Structure 1
Amino acid sequence: MNNVAAQRFKNENEKFCSDCAANINVKAEICPKCGVRQMAVSNGFVSAQNGKSKVIAAVLAFFLGGLGIHKFYLGQIGMGIVYLLFCWTFIPAIIAFIEFVILLLMSDAEFNRKYGGI
């Protein structure tokens, strides 16, 4: 069996590297083969390095976005306050729905780049 075919199988205590697809330990934070940091997975949702989840942010934007709750969750306190101040106009609710769609369509790498900073 060649090396490429051998890498396609993994044990229960292994996972594939997100960059080079090498078999690595499931607890590994950095791939020993390529050195790329692995994204954290909690409860089945991919989270950024600071623990923020794209799915949770999108759900907050959909249900409570008119109040700016998703902005507070993502660490944008100033924008959250602006949303709260203008929530009576329903304009923040419309913008939050657009942000909900953007969050759903955003890749995990883009979410980590934009909101994953610690």
Structure 2
Amino acid sequence: MPQEMKLADEKFCFECGEAIKMKAEICPKCGVRQYSSSGLGVAAPNGKNKLAAALFALLLGGFGIHKFYLGKAGQGILFLIFCWTFIPALIGFIEGILFLTMSDQSFAQKYGTV
């Protein structure tokens, strides 16, 4: 089957571009894990969701909740220590906007490691 053609129950592999079944978690051709799609965006291979991280950063970024969610506990503790200065809130707001503008693939590459 040509690479440009796919059936209704198929999708393209993120790595090699081969048409694979929609429910496939791993591409049978190249062996790369596929990103799972939920109703609220694409989840990274470790289950972290870009939209959830962005909402945590925008709403609770001053306390570093988004850092804890993304597995960066040291930075989260630093945000908690300095939350009274409102600097972490400003940084969290900026990071939330960056998460929303970041592509799903770049989010998965940066924060999707298991």
For normalisation by structure 1, the TM-score amounts to 0.82
Instruction: Show structure 2 runs of 5+ residues with no match.
Output: none
1:75-114 paired onto structure 2 within 5 Å: 75-114=71-110
* 3-state SS of 1:41 partner: strand
Cα offset, 1:71, TM superposition: 0.6
Residue segments in structure 1 that go unaligned for 5+ positions in a row: none
Q: Secondary structure at the match of 2:98?
A: helix
Distance 1:78 1:55, change over 3 A: same
One-letter amino acid matched to 1:40: S
Alignment of 1:1-118 (within 5 A): 3=2, 7=5, 9-11=6-8, 13-118=9-114
In 1, distance between residues paired with 2:89 and 2:19? 44
Over aligned residues, Cα RMSD in angstroms?
A: 2.0
Return the TM-score normalized by structure 2.
0.85
How many residues are aligned here? 114
